[in-house]
A and B are shown apart, each in its own frame.
Chain A
Amino acid sequence: MNISNKDPLLDLEHISKRFGGLQALKDVALTLYPGEVLALAGDNGAGKSTLIKTISGVHKPDTGTIKYCGQVIHLETPHQARDAGIETIYQDLAIADNLDVGGNVFLGREIVKRICGLPFVDRRRMRQEALETLQDLDIHIHHPENPLRSLSGGQRQSVAIGRAIHWKARVLIMDEPTAALGVPEQRKVMEIIERLKKSGVGVIFISHNLNDIFQVSDRILVLRRGEKVGERLISETNHDEVVRMMVAG
């Protein structure tokens, strides 16, 4: 793995965030390279979600800089982050489960064809293009014309990932992507992450499951009470050391 000779996608320095009297993040640094999977680990309340929310434009950090593709950016809203190519996959927020795959992937950016000058939403083409993107990620949807509510949780999540990729996300952030899924579906999400990695997307994912982390990540960053207490290449650490960092620092 020779990621060091590429320029980082994300480069965060000295990030601090305070909620009232609570120091949620304290002088945290984070780097993410293209084609790299970075795992965020830490106990409950360690600041993992807060950290990714500063990257996805939900929270503004009190101090520190965020560089994206070499440039300092100031994200005011999640929209700005997404437009820039930083996409966050949430468990519940991304999908309108009364729409089909095409409707979801193209939500807000529907394809329109003209018939006698009148615009008509082109459902067939949206479905086709959505399925093509999903196929590239090895995601297969059996009845693509059905609303997503008939799909499993994992498949819905795949559609959300597919949507991000279709719109050229370069950084994909997943907060506990496998928490609500059964075992086969967890495995599927891990496979998708592998594929994303190959296509050069940078992935940050939060997980409590060390097996998942060790399976797909290249690097792990451990937070404790808002501080970065360790960072290791996965190839150079083990479960025990990570657990020690999480609880003891």
Chain B
Amino acid sequence: MLVEKKITKPAPLAGGEARKAFRWLAVLAAFRAWLFLAILLAAFELWARVAYGGTFVFNPLNVKSIALFTVTPLLLALGQTFVIISGGIDLSVGFTMGLSAVVTAHVYNWAAQSGNSGLSLVVAVAAGLGIAVVPGLINGLLIADLRVPPFIGTLGMYGVARGVAFLLAKGTTVPVQGGLMGAIGNGETLGFPNLVLLTIAIILVMHYLLSHTRYGQHIYAIGGNVNAALRAGINVRNATIALYILSALSAGCAGIFYTAKFSAGAAQAGEPVLLDSIAAVVIGGASLFGGSGTIIGTIIGALIVAVIQYGLVFVNVEPFWQFVAVGVVIIISVLVDQIQKGARK
């Protein structure tokens, strides 16, 4: 049934001055992620010059390390971007990643008994993605059909995926036998780490989906006004289920990459990364109220998180400060979003 909404009188128009200031603020807010990244890089560069007489940004080793640092939180954040744009959230991605990492390792070991490591790799990757679909689908059904709030549904799945991942791993890490997995995970092609190249390919697919397909357009509409989407005949239920599967798949990729990189699967692989991934999305300009966000923004957001983390290690700060820094950045980003929203009203 359609609900008749209370009608409010429009607010009086802001004066010219206030409007101009607001426009500047809006521009600033739109580019805040780029600006923040630039400032961070400049700060660490300055530190490097003053403290070591060296360079931070122009050192290829640093660039490569930051790129590799970015991969995992970014992969989780890519799917999360879709979910957050739709007005939801997926708290389960960290342990979906762990589950996927463990299953990939087990299946690779099992398949490797055949002696064909190429085939084992394919089977293991398929299994890693396949197992990720399970929590994603359940999340989707809970949220779309049973009307469980995303925060609660995916928090429950966080617990379930975590438990199952640890059970499958028997409480420890699962080392991968045989070298192909590790060789790909740590190898390079044309001087670029394979995992970074693969991540770029996934980025392209996700960007295409979000910004150029009807599905992406529908996700924005659902986040902007779900009633408008329903009225336009969009199948919001299926789109929502697909969202959480997509998010889980992108976490599954992160799990597979983890196993490839460390030649071992671990249930806790994604545990510390959940916060980073949500940080990347909101720093990148997505609103937790839904309706806005981009893949480009999320990439910048993930780079910011990685630069903070890597940079703090680089300048020899206690590593635990990373959590503080990322947490603070999340809160500030959400505040900026809140203020922007308020200013519009």
Contact = CB atoms under 8 A, between A and B. Distances in A.
Interface of A: 49, 53, 58, 78-79, 82, 90-99, 103-104, 107-110, 112, 118-121, 149, 152-153, 175-176, 179-182
Contact of B225 (A49, A96, A180): A96
A104 B232 CA distance: 9
B217 A90 contact: no
Interface residues of B, number: 30
Q: Which 9 A-B pairs have the closest CB atoms?
A: A108-B232, A98-B224, A96-B224, A98-B291, A107-B232, A96-B221, A96-B225, A180-B7, A96-B228
A119 B224 CA distance: 23
B217 A121 contact: yes
Given A98-B221, A107-B234, A112-B214, 17 more contacts: A49-B4, A53-B2, A78-B231, A79-B233, A91-B5, A92-B227, A94-B231, A95-B228, A96-B225, A98-B224, A99-B220, A108-B234, A119-B213, A119-B214, A121-B216, A179-B7, A182-B10
Contacts of B291: 96, 98
B212 interface: yes
Nearest to B232: A108
Interface string B1-19: 1101101111000000000
A58 B214 CA distance: 27
Contacts of B4: 49, 175
Contacts, number: 87
Interface of B: 1-2, 4-5, 7-10, 208, 212-214, 216-218, 220-221, 223-225, 227-229, 231-234, 291-292, 344
Among B9, B223, B228, B234: residue with most chain A CB under 10 A: B228
Contacts of B218: 108
Contact of A180 (B8, B208, B232): B8
A4 B155 CA distance: 63
A95 B5 CA distance: 14
A86 B225 CA distance: 22
Contacts of B229: 96, 107-108
Nearest to B291: A98
Contact of B221 (A107, A152, A180, A181): A107
Contact of B214 (A82, A94, A110, A180): A110
Given A91-B7, A107-B221, A107-B234, A98 B228 contact: no
A99 B224 contact: yes
Contact of A93 (B2, B8, B216, B221): B2
Given A99-B224, A108-B218, A121 B213 contact: yes
Given A58-B1, A107-B228, A96 B220 contact: yes
Contacts of B225: 93, 95-98
A133 B233 CA distance: 21
Contacts of A152: 10
A97 to B, nearest CB: 6
